[in-house]
Every structure is written in C-alpha cells, then in structure tokens.
C-alpha cells in the first residue's frame, strides 16, 4: 500500500532546463486510472456507501467475498483456474479502504502524469498494466500457499516510481519527513526514491506472510519500472546524418 510509506511525496516538478510544461498538462491515462479506481471503490463494499451490500456483519462478509473474487489469492492463482489468472489485473483497480485508495491515487497523480507524458499514452497504459500484473504475480509466487486476498494498485504505481527515477532523476520532490516534524523539504528524485526502495527492502524482510502491505510487490514493481525505462529510453537514439550539400562552387557540371 503506497499510503503507508514513511516518506510522503506531495508534488514533483521537473528540475531541468528547457522550459518543460507543468506536469500533468497532458496525461489523460493517469487521470482516467484515478477516476476508474475511485469509481470502483465507491461502488464496491469497501467504501461502505453502497446500500446493496448491507451493513454490519453482512457488509464485512460482502467485503471478504468481493476481495476474494477480484483480488489475488496466491494459493488459487497457481492452480490454473482461468478466473484466477485474471486477478492480478483486476486487483489493480480494487482497494481495501479509503486510506489505501487515497494514498495510492496521490502517488499516481504526482508521479504518473510526467511519466505518461514522456512515454506516451498507449505505451504508458501497457507499461502500467503489465508491470502491475507482474508485480502482483511476483508477490503471489513468493507466497504461493497464502489464502489471503491481495488488492491494490501499489505494484503498478511502484513501477511508475521506478520509471520516474530513471526518466527524471533531477526532479524536485516535496516530502514530509516524520522525524523532522513533518516539515516540507524538497529533494531530487535520485535521493528520495532510492531511499524509499531501501525502506521497502527492509520492511519486506521483516514482514510476515499475510495481509497488510505487500512490500515485495512494491520492490518487484519498482525494479520492473526502472528496468523498462532503462531498456526503452536509456540508449541514445542514433540519427544518421545526411551528407552535407557541396558548396555551389564545387558542383560538377
């Protein structure tokens, strides 16, 4: 769950030269994903707003059934059932609580817009879905006997962070640090995001199997995102130079 990070980022701005436009000026996929996740949450049982799911014990039972149907259940995923194979994709749009939803959507809003602008709409959509699927699949493979449902967009958003780090290492990120009395400080992405990844690594080593924060999915997603950005954008494009035209005095008759 992205909202549980120890370092909370609220705004990022490209710190380089060149007069780049403000982040998010053209990021319909990012905003569409945010709207879709919010609609799915509000209409589902976790929000507690849909009377169709009842209340009290009935609502809790509906939530469990909903997460089991649309979330990733590692023990069922590797049994080969067609429905279970789709759950790493459907789980990306399901969230367990308001805090879970708002935390994830905040980070997608901050880091997704600039990444989408750099990649392009179609490529960003495939990147987001593909890395999100693989991140949840990686978590399930490491916990293949777990019967707990895993939901949330954290793996996909972590991939966005990995790509953002490679594409915009000098972007200035406004952060609130708990151990500094939550004073807003600005750091470059190359400082903030590796620090976050290190925290996920430590937390993953200490986390017990079961529900809660899927730190391993964060790490898998982050690595996939960074690796994809490096493979796709890391090599300079070679432009074959056309031969310069000969001076007029050297033209042959």
Rounded Cα distance, 16 and 211, in Å: 41
The answer to whether 34 touches 93, Cβ cutoff 8 Å, is no
Cα–Cα nearest to 65, from 88, 92, 45, 84? 45
For residue 173, the cross-strand partners are 12, 187
- CB burial readout 26-35, b (16+ within 10 A) else e: ebebbeebbe
At residue 44, φ and ψ (nearest 5 deg) are -85, 180
Pairing relation of β-strands 8-13 and 184-188?
A: unpaired
Cα–Cα nearest to 225, from 90, 123, 73? 123
The answer to whether 115 touches 160, Cβ cutoff 8 Å, is yes
Rounded Cα distance, 124 and 28, in Å: 11
Name the helix (H) or strand (E) containing 198: helix 189-206
For residue 175, the cross-strand partners are 9, 185
Is residue 218 among the annotated active site residues? yes
- CB burial readout 203-223, b (16+ within 10 A) else e: bbeeeeeeeebbbbbbbbbbb
Is residue 68 among the annotated active site residues? no
Which position among 146, 149, 154, 158 bears the catalytic label? Answer: 154
Residues with a catalytic annotation lie at: 154, 218
């Amino acid at each position: 769950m992205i909202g549980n990070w120890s370092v909370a980022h609220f705004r990022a701005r490209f710190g380089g030269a060149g007069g780049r436009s403000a982040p998010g000026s053209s990021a319909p996929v990012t905003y569409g994903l945010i709207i879709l996740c919010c609609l799915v949450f509000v209409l589902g049982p976790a929000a507690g707003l849909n009377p169709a799911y009842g209340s009290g014990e009935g609502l809790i039972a509906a939530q469990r059934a909903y997460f089991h149907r649309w979330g990733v259940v590692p023990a069922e995923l590797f049994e080969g059932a067609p429905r279970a194979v789709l759950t790493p994709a459907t789980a990306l749009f399901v969230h367990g609580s308001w805090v879970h939803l708002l935390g994830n959507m905040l980070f997608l809003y901050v880091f997704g817009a600039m990444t989408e602008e750099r990649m392009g709409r179609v490529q960003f959509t495939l990147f987001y879905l593909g890395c999100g699927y693989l991140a949840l699949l990686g978590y399930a493979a490491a916990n293949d006997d777990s019967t707990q449902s895993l939901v949330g967009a954290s793996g996909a958003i972590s991939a966005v962070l990995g790509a953002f780090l490679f594409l915009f290492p000098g972007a200035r990120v406004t952060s609130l640090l708990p151990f500094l009395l939550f004073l807003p400080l600005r750091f470059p992405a190359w400082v903030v995001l590796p620090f976050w990844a290190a925290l996920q690594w430590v937390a993953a080593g200490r986390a017990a199997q079961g529900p809660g924060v899927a730190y391993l999915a964060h790490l898998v997603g982050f690595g996939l995102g960074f690796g994809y950005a490096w493979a796709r954008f890391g090599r300079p494009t070679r432009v074959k130079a056309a031969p310069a035209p000969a001076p007029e005095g050297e033209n042959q008759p």
